[in-house]
Amino acid sequence: CTHVVENVCVVGAGYVGGPTAAVLALHNPNVKVEVLDRDPRRIQQWKSPHLPVHEPGLDDLVRSVRDDPENGSKYSTQRQPNLNFSCDSARVLAKADIIFMAVNTPTKMFGVGAGCATNMAAFDGAMRDVAAHAKPGAIIVEKSTVPGGTADRVRKMLSAHRPGVPFEVLSNPEFLAEGSAVQNLTVPDRVLIGSAATPTGRQAARTLAGLYAAWVPKERILETNTWSSELAKLVANAMLAQRISSINSISAICERTGADVDQVAKAIGMDARIGPQFLKAGLGFGGSCFRKDIASLAYLAESLGLDDVASYWRQVNTMNERQRDRFARKVIDRFEGNLVGHKLAILGFAFKKNTGDTRESLAMEVIRSLLEERPAEIAIFDPYCRPEDIMRELEIACPDISERGTIKLHTDPHLACSQAHAVLVVTDCDQFRNTPGKKPRWTHNTSEPTASQTCSSDCTDCRSLSARPTTSEPIEWPRIAYNMVEPKWVFDGRGLLDVAELEKLGVRVDSVGRRA
Ligand code: UGA
């Protein structure tokens, strides 16, 4: 027996909360889904034509289920809208049968556990609101990645704030990756639900499973206890990151020998026990998850007195940092230690393709090292990042950056690379490839409204959107090569480029995991 679910609330309108809410709403037309955030600007963006998150397929999806559907969606419009966005936490929480917690849980940067532990300030703040307003019997679901044992903590917190009121706490970690969020949510490898090992805990798990069963095959919905579920989330990310650090460590060997890291990866990936995924050598992993989750796993091990386990996992992060340092060092060495007077162009700022997320950007780390060498100019192009986000990240990383005046942001990759002494490919965007015919897995959503189609001229979202390119046309390497200046180095940090083809254009190429 399960509870009837009429209202679902998702707390946190970010990369996880927004897409998750939209997919839940799409597949459960009889359930009202409301997304809460305390930032009114963010809520407004989710209600506007320009969502705060760039994800392939998301615009169409949100438009089809949002309370103000527009025409042109590929989904049916013959349905009642059932997705809303709001700042009114008291009203929304009070009627929710299920409350998903999808707020930020970054690494704690101060006090005990600084640099390793999880900063639970936003999560706890949101939980206090939930404790104050949730209706008796509501099911609270941890969607954010949280330290192991958080469900127990939440249970204690709820019984302290609302003694005697029944609540169930579930763990239901998110496995979506940025840039493929809609795809991952629509066809998940598995849905993991952890519950208390009590009859009411299992019943709550089945109620939540009922929402997913609307589109996920039953055999893909896995029920465990809450600790297993919380730990499995951290371990999934740690294992994926470990594969990247492992292949990157091999890339360093390849660069000093005659081996090619892509050939090695292909050869080992054909072993069914190893498999081909997450073996692409590059600049290391960026983004807001892997480094943080490994730090959290190591912190957990350490707090259990398992220092060997902690240092084993920390090494995955250490190897990751070394990979970027090695790349920046290679650039500097190619210029014999002197970047003064040289222009460097950076292609890509986001931590991977198909996202405009600038957090934990690999480019930023590389730029920080290169700036130490006082180059004349660093020109940056990224197809999706907003200029203000790039500048904010750079200002945090290098506080005196605006005084140095060496950074220029471009909306055209060819202009960014014009007169450059070196071009650095930092993000794995398909449009940076020089191999025509290789179609990107996802293309830019051409149905995305343009500034002229939608808002008034003073809409800040539109202004920043119009500063971004409207297509993901492949860049023209012959044009770039022609307009570069000697020594015309191209550093391929992602192993994206066909080196032999590029060299025909008269540039020198240094690619990760290959001896140049
Ligand atoms: C990751 C996981 O893949 C998701 O399953 C998980 O849900 C998510 O973290 C999370 O915990 O929220 P994400 O960080 O969005 O997703 O991106 P990934 O596609 O995993 O890429 C992470 C980084 O590794 C990127 O910088 C990517 O370029 C790099 N990478 C990935 C490689 O360098 N080589 C590879 O073979 C794969």
Q: What is the value of ipTM here, to two decimals?
A: 0.97
With tokens 């492949």, the residue in question is 474
* Residue-level pLDDT at 25: 97
Q: Is 422 helix (H, G, I), strand (E, B) or coil?
A: strand
Token pair of 142 as six digits = 């941890």
Backbone angles phi, psi at 448, to 5 degrees: -60, 130
Taking residues 217-232, what's their average pLDDT? Answer: 97
- Provide the pLDDT for residue 509: 97
Per-residue confidence (pLDDT) for residue 447, from 0 to 100: 32
Active site residue ranges: 289
pLDDT band of 75, cuts 50, 70, 90: low
Q: Report how far residue 96's alpha carbon sits from residue 89's, in angstroms, rounded to the nearest whole number.
A: 11
Query: CB of 428 closer than 6 A to ligand 1?
Result: yes
Cβ of 49 closer than 6 Å to ligand 1, yes or no, is no
Cβ atoms of 184 and 236 closer than 8 Å: no
Mean pLDDT for 208-228 is 97
| Mean pLDDT, the chain, integer | 89
Point out the annotated binding site for NAD(+). Answer: 37, 42, 105, 145, 178, 292, 359
Q: Name the residue among 46, 229, 213 with its Cα closest to residue 148.
A: 229
Q: Cα(79) to centroid of ligand 1, in Å? A: 35
> Please, what is the end-to-end C-alpha distance for the chain in angstroms?
64
Question: What number of other Cβ atoms are within 10 A of residue 296's Cβ?
Answer: 26
- Ligand 1 atom at minimal distance to the Cα of residue 277: 36
Higher pLDDT, residue 119 or 441: 119
Q: Provide the pLDDT for residue 462.
A: 35
Answer yes or no: is the C-beta of 262 below 6 A from any ligand 1 atom: no
Nearest one of 111, 71, 65, 58 to 84, comparing CA atoms: 65
Pocket test for ligand 1, best of 54, 118, 176 (most atoms within 8 A of CB): 176
- Across the range 33-47, mean pLDDT stands at 96
Q: What is the pLDDT of residues 274-326, one digit of tens each?
A: 999 999 999 999 988 999 999 999 999 999 999 999 999 999 999 999 999 99
pLDDT tens digits, 159-210: 999 999 999 999 999 999 988 999 999 999 999 999 999 999 999 999 999 9
Specify the pLDDT at position 73. 56
Residue linked to tokens 């490919």: 425
355 CA: nearest ligand 1 atom: 15
Q: Rounded to whole angstroms, how far apart are CA atoms 92 and 138?
A: 12
Q: Which residues, in sequence order, are CB contacts of 60 under 8 Å at separation 6+? A: 73, 74, 75, 445, 447
Residue nearest to atom 29 of ligand 1 (CA): 285
282 lines ligand 1 (CB under 6 A): yes
- Residue 203 CA from chain centroid, whole number: 32
Answer yes or no: pTM beyond 0.95: no
pLDDT for the residue numbered 435: 79
Q: What is the mean pLDDT of residues 381-395?
A: 91
- For residue 247 and ligand 1, the question of a CB distance below 6 A is answered with no
Instruction: Give the pLDDT of residue 347.
Output: 98
More confident residue, 464 or 404: 404
Q: Is pLDDT at 470 greater than 70 in this prediction?
A: no
- In whole angstroms, give the CA distance from residue 435 to residue 309: 43
Say which residue the tokens 């997450």 belong to: 278
Q: How many DSSP H helices and E strands does the chain contain?
A: 19, 14
CB neighbourhood size of 508 (10 A): 16
- Residue 130 pairs in a beta bridge with none
